[in-house]
Amino acid sequence: MNELSLDSTELNGRWRFDWLLPALFQPRRAFARIAAAETAVWQTPILILVLTGLIRTLVNGSVKAAANLAAANSGAPPPGFEYYTPEQQAQLQQAMAATSGPVFTYLLPAVVTVLGVYLGWLILGWVIHLGLTLMGGRGSSRQALNVVAWTLLPFAIRDVVRIAAMWLTGQPLTALGLSGFAPASDGNLAIYLTAVLGLVDIYLLWHIFLLLIGVRAAEPLSRAKAWSVVLLVVIASLLIRALPALIAAQFSGLTVVRPFF
């Protein structure tokens, strides 16, 4: 029996916390196990991602709440406040009070984080499976979902790093990833490019590296086909994930007439 031979117990276990470090630092052996698993083994990395994402969201919310409280205590109005009509000033104050509550600070971001983890993993897994199938692969969607889930672990490490940074500095994080290289202008293209570059960092490159290893472990495809599928899917994912920032920028100048909560 060689070192990659696996017994049925190892293949069929659902919760595999013992695979966490190997998946990150010994990926070839680890993804051979993951690709050979006969049942769903995605639960462990998805649970880790949800937990780190929720902690990051709570820490970020507490930092922003402290910043809002400090701004309110300082008595300094927002920029351009003096040019608003009395009705608009009242509406803005109501909106600021509503959006600084726990619903907007903690609950909604937490829900978005959990949905983002699950939907992001599912969509990425299905698209990877579709791409591999078009390239001649014969693996199952379960196999693709298993592999993709474990390749997302670097983002959990990124969450831990961001949690530590916010906790130590007491400040929300800005200029994430390579966003500092975006052109300093106010156009839509600059906003979109900033959002795209903000998603690019060493953890994304780590994820791509693991995804390449996982794809080749799951499917006997050539290196060129594996690279094609992975890069096309990752680039498309980045472009789509940057769209909310562009959409939010279009609505940033609107006045909130009535708070939702």
Q: Which amino acid is at 164?
A: A
Does residue 184 sit within a domain? yes
In a domain, 16, yes or no: no
Question: What's the predicted TM-score (pTM) here?
Answer: 0.83
Domain count, the chain: 1
Q: pLDDT of 31-42, one tens digit each?
A: 999 999 989 999
12 domain residue, yes or no: no
Report if residue 14 sits inside a domain: no
- Tens-digit pLDDT profile for residues 123-137: 999 999 999 999 998
Average of per-residue pLDDT across 230-255:
81
With contact defined as beta carbons under 8 Å apart, do 178 and 197 qualify? yes
* Domain membership of residue 241 as a residue range: 24-73+83-251
Contacts 24+ apart (CB under 8 A), 127-131: 127/233, 127/236, 127/237, 128/211, 128/215, 128/229, 128/230, 128/233, 131/228, 131/229, 131/232, 131/233
Instruction: Please report whether residue 106 resides in a domain.
Output: yes
Residue 134: half-sphere exposure toward Cβ, Cα within 13 Å: 13
In a domain, 1, yes or no: no
17 inside domain: no
Whether the pLDDT of residue 9 is over 50: the answer is no
Check if the beta carbon of residue 140 is closer than 8 Å to that of residue 128: no
* 261 in a structural domain: no
Secondary structure of residue 178 in the 3-state scheme: coil
Residue type, 177: G
The rounded distance, in Å, linking the Cα atoms of 258 and 261 is 9
